[in-house]
């Protein structure tokens, strides 16, 4: 058994070193006793040669204990690293010097220590809190040794930034001495920031070096050395670091806790401007003590491994060598049709208003886009700036999107369907430089502190603009740019063009980054797959397609509905929109189509005639029962019905028509057809424990995670480095997180989500086939199969929403339970442990059809354990 000094710290790691000081604050010849944690004994015991050294620097009021998981991981990694975690002077168990050490002194101190230890290279610095600044100062002074930088919740606090309220309080004369030195209040507050709370023994270990006021002098001095303005003694040293890191070219990894009340996301955004090469992962729910809140050791060593792998070209992601040949920018169609007076975009007025639709011609759209682009450039919008758009689909949004694309600005789209918390999380994560929104959107920006210069899409009085914090209006910027060409930015195909957020139906919404090349490839794939020629006219009842109409050269109209709430689309609104543009194509989500069918009896003959002229109807976002499509076909008798399969990260991936669905018949899952033009689909077979490995197959009858390779797959996830590493872990492929199989004819069948696979004693069970069987019972509207129990021993439980609506959640009555059990057993050979009912399934808002099975699984376990029967959480 290894003796531990503190939890997780073997005694062998703890060592003391006598180090001569060169710091300006010390007299010549001064020597200080340093304490540090060093995993060298572990490496020596293994006979392992380290790949390099991680130099880990804590902040205030922590100590080297913060980095214990890195030291342990460095000892056992396939490519081991020496990990040296220091206790800064006057901190941890290092010497109390009796001096006030400024930032410049501390940077010198760290250099003195590495000199004394004889550390050469390669060195990767790791820093947290104000230790991040000190580690960066060391990095700038030791560039020949520097191989990389890792930062966790830190800042270089540039001029113009006000101190966070928590630090202002700690610096207040009435609080500073009492809170940081005479008592342990500052320590206790810092430790309380952990998410979740620290275990008592961990909290005690953090407090161990600071017992007694004499041991906390450095804690108070550290706080006092934070430069609040240019007159502070450490301001010049801080500025040197802040500006110097702009010249660093080494790889950088930033691991961030967004819930930090001190080093918030604004400091991350500033660091990314100074270190644009940084890989970033934001751990949603984590805070200041991110190294305690989440496992940072695994991603750090995965990152180091990825850097090593880049030395082997065959192991890296294939480079895009297509250049600009064949690349056509998204706004090109507007330029080509600058004199075309036919309709480009149509806005439907609410039926109750009695107003005619608003129509913008191609020529007017081109003029307005150029004017707005010029106006945006006047206020500082530049290539690479992020512009969050909180504007409903229509003329205004279309103009904004294409103005941004012309400027090279990055469009950020996170719709209100994410809910208030989800939307706020997404916007803060994306970190826009500008926010353009309707009044409700800007009110949210002010209330929740969303970053970015605010621009109002709409009209308001000067007083109202001040209340919203809006610096400009779209109308003002358009007027200012009228008569001038858009800035001459030559589109870089591989520059970021858009950040499109997922629906959040499988966890916090993720931002999928598309370059101009990949966004254009999405347009081209849709055009080729569905023969969407210039001159087509489409009804965009599904938000993602609202931005593609002008790029396709198609006249587009958004029906009178809330596109973030698909069930608000009525048959009359769809028909009126189709009539307004003589629509040949309709895009609508499954939930929208369900409400269209429900309201179809209200259609008049003219409206039915407008729908009868539709030639193509596309519905994506969730599986659609054949019976529902058959009913839709009756509304659009001349249309070919298609249900493309895809996701925010790649749309479309496969395609299937109603006729092909009928031909495929009933099977294990939902048949989604074959790959669209330019795409490849493969599988990573599932193991018995429900995980997907690294083997790739296209064999029939093998269930596995669905893999996609296509020119229109997202470039990466935004500021989710760990997620992206998994997503692209098979070079050239995107792991979708969906599971399925190919049949003998090469068609793909989707069987569910990887995270929803049940792990039973008999092996992995995918949910969709059983859910379809349950939904074949006439009384059942929706069904979800969830696993209850520990992994590997789960039992299958069906949760259903009935057609007539259950009065209360809980076990199904005997008749319904028997019917569902029988249907599932006959079709799937699966014996259900229980059948439960809910008045309404918890679903995502964007599609109103993706069931939150994680919430259902937790709820089902509670019900079967005899717990209080209530609804499984609130709808997002």
Secondary structure of 239-303 in HEC code, one letter for each residue: HHHHHHHHHCCCCEEEEECCCCCCCCHHHHHHHHHHCCCCEEEECCCCCCCHHHHCCCHHHHHHH
**Predicted confidence (pLDDT) at residue 874 exceeds the cutoff of 60:** no
Phi, psi of 680 (to 5 degrees): -125, 145
Question: Residue 159: its pLDDT value, please?
Answer: 54
Contacts of 768 by beta carbon, 8 Å cutoff, 6+ apart: 623, 668, 669, 670, 750, 751, 752
The conformation of residue 637, written as its DSSP 8-state character, comes to T
Question: Residue 1: its pLDDT value, please?
Answer: 57
Q: In CATH terms, are 359-490 and 757-864 the same topology? A: no
Q: Which residue has the tokens 């499509």?
A: 629
Question: Residue 621: its pLDDT value, please?
Answer: 82
Q: Give the burial string for 334-345 (b: 16+ CB within 10 Å, else e).
A: beebeebeebbb
Q: What percent of the chain has pLDDT over 90?
A: 84
Report whether 761 contacts 792 (CB < 8 A): yes
Count CA atoms within 13 Å of residue 799 on its CB side. 29
Residue 639's pLDDT band (cuts 50, 70, 90): very high
Question: Residue 315: its pLDDT value, please?
Answer: 41
- Whole-number Å distance between alpha carbons of 206 and 220: 16
Report whether 184 contacts 237 (CB < 8 A): no
Residue 157's pLDDT band (cuts 50, 70, 90): confident
pLDDT in tens, 549-571: 999 999 999 999 987 788 899 99
Question: Residue 842: its pLDDT value, please?
Answer: 82
**Predicted confidence (pLDDT) at residue 845 exceeds the cutoff of 70:** no
pLDDT in tens, 778-835: 999 999 999 999 999 999 999 999 999 888 999 999 999 999 999 999 999 999 999 9
**Predicted confidence (pLDDT) at residue 167 exceeds the cutoff of 80:** no
Q: Nearest Cα to 404, choosing from 491, 534, 520, 277?
A: 491
Report whether 477 contacts 453 (CB < 8 A): no
**Predicted confidence (pLDDT) at residue 77 exceeds the cutoff of 90:** yes
Q: Does 692 or 158 have the greater pLDDT score?
A: 692
Residue range 359-490 in CATH 3.40.50.980: yes
- Whole-number Å distance between alpha carbons of 621 and 670: 13
Domains of the chain by residue range? 12-309, 359-490, 531-643, 757-864
Contacts of 867 by beta carbon, 8 Å cutoff, 6+ apart: none
Residue range 757-864 in CATH 3.30.1490.20: no
Mean pLDDT on 842-848: 58
In this structure, what token pair is assigned to residue 233? 């003694």
Where helices occur in 330-461 by DSSP H, the ranges are: 332-336, 362-378, 395-407, 419-430, 439-448
- Whole-number Å distance between alpha carbons of 751 and 738: 8
Q: Which fold has domain 531-643?
A: Rossmann fold (3.40.50)
Quickly list DSSP for 582-626: T-SEEEE-HHHHHHHHHHGGG--HHHHHHHHT--EEE--SS---H
Domain 12-309 homologous superfamily, CATH: Alpha/Beta hydrolase fold, catalytic domain (3.40.50.1820)
Q: Give the CA dihedral 165, 166, 169, 170, nearest 10 degrees.
A: -150
Q: Nearest Cα to 767, choosing from 730, 808, 804, 799?
A: 799
Mean pLDDT on 604-613: 98
pLDDT in tens, 418-430: 889 999 999 999 9
């Amino acid at each position: 058994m290894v003796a531990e000094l503190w939890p997780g710290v073997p005694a062998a790691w703890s060592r003391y070193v006598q180090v001569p000081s060169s710091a300006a604050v010390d007299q010549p010849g001064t020597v200080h006793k340093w304490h540090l944690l060093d995993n060298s004994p572990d490496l020596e015991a293994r006979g392992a040669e380290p790949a390099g050294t991680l130099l880990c620097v804590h902040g205030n009021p922590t100590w080297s204990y913060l980095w214990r998981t890195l030291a342990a991981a460095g000892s056992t990694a396939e490519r081991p690293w020496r990990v040296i975690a220091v206790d800064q002077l006057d901190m941890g168990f290092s010497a109390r010097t009796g001096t006030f050490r400024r930032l410049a002194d501390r940077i010198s101190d760290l250099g003195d220590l590495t000199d004394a230890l004889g550390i050469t290279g390669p060195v990767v610095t790791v820093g947290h809190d104000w230790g991040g600044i000190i580690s960066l100062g060391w990095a700038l002074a030791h560039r020949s040794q520097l191989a990389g930088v890792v930062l966790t919740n830190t800042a270089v606090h540039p001029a113009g930034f006000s101190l966070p309220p928590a630090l202002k309080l700690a610096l207040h004369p009435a609080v500073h001495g009492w809170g940081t030195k005479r008592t342990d209040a500052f320590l206790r507050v810092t430790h309380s920031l952990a998410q979740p709370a620290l275990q008592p023994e961990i909290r005690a270990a953090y407090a161990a070096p600071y017992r007694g006021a004499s041991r906390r002098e450095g804690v108070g001095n550290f706080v006092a050395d934070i430069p609040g303005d240019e007159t502070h003694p450490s301001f010049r040293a801080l500025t040197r670091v802040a500006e110097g890191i702009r010249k660093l070219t080494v790889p950088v990894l930033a691991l961030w806790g967004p819930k930090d009340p001190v080093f918030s996301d604004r400091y991350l955004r500033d660091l990314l401007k100074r270190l644009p090469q940084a890989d970033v992962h934001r751990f949603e729910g984590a805070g200041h003590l991110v190294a305690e809140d989440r496992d940072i050791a695994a991603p750090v060593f995965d990152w180091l491994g990825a850097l090593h792998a880049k030395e082997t070209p065959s192991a890296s992601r294939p480079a895009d060598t297509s250049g600009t040949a064949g690349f056509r920018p998204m706004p090109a169609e507007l330029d080509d049709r600058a004199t075309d007076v036919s309709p480009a975009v149509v806005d439907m007025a609410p039926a109750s208003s009695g107003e005619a639709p608003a129509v913008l011609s191609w020529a007017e759209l081109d003029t307005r886009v150029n004017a707005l682009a010029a106006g945006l450039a006047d206020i500082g919008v530049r290539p690479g700036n992020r512009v969050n758009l909180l504007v409903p689909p229509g003329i205004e949004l279309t103009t904004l999107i294409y103005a941004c694309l012309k400027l090279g600005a990055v469009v950020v789209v996170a719709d209100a369907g994410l809910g208030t918390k989800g939307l706020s999380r997404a916007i803060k994560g994306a970190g826009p430089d500008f926010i353009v929104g309707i009044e409700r959107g800007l009110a949210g920006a002010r209330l929740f502190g969303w970053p970015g210069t605010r621009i109002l899409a709409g009209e308001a009085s000067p007083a109202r603009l001040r209340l919203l914090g809006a610096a400009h209006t779209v109308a003002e910027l358009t007027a200012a740019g009228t008569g001038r060409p858009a800035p001459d930015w030559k589109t870089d195909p591989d520059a970021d063009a858009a950040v499109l957020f997922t629906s959040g139906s499988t966890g916090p919404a993720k931002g999928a980054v598309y370059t101009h090349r990949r966004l254009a490839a999405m347009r081209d794939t849709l055009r080729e797959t569905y023969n969407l020629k210039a001159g087509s006219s489409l009804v965009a009842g599904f938000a993602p397609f609202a931005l593609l109409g002008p790029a396709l050269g198609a006249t587009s109209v958004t029906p009178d509905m809330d596109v973030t709430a698909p069930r608000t689309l009525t048959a009359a609104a769809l028909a009126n929109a189709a009539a307004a543009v003589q629509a040949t194509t309709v895009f609508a989500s499954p939930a929208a189509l369900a409400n269209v069918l429900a309201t179809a009896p209200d259609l008049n003959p003219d409206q039915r005639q407008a729908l009868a002229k539709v030639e193509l109807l596309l519905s994506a976002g969730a599986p659609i029962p054949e019976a529902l499509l058959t009913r839709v076909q009756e509304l659009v008798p001349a249309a070919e019905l298609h249900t493309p399969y895809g996701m925010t990260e790649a749309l479309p991936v496969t395609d299937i028509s109603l006729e092909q669905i009928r031909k495929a018949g009933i099977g294990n899952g939902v048949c989604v057809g074959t790959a669209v033009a330019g795409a490849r689909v493969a599988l990573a077979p599932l193991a018995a424990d429900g995980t997907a490995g690294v083997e790739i197959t296209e064999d029939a009858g093998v269930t596995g995670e669905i893999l996609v390779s296509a020119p229109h797959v997202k470039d990466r996830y935004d500021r989710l480095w760990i997620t992206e590493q998994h997503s692209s872990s098979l070079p050239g492929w995107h792991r979708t997180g969906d599971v399925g199989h190919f049949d003998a004819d090469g068609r793909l069948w989707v069987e569910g989500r990887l995270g929803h696979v049940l792990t039973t004693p008999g092996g992995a069970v995918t949910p969709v086939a059983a859910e379809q069987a349950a939904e074949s019972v006439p009384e059942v509207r929706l069904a979800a199969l969830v696993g209850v129990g520990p992994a590997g021993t789960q039992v299958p439980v069906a949760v259903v929403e009935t057609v007539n609506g259950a009065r209360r959640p809980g076990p199904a009555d005997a008749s319904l339970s028997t019917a569902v059990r029988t249907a599932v057993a006959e079709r799937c050979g699966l014996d259900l442990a229980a059948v439960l009912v809910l008045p309404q399934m918890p679903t995502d808002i964007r599609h109103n059809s993706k069931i939150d099975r994680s919430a259902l699984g937790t709820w089902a376990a509670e019900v079967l354990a005899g717990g209080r029967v209530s609804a499984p959480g609130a709808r997002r």
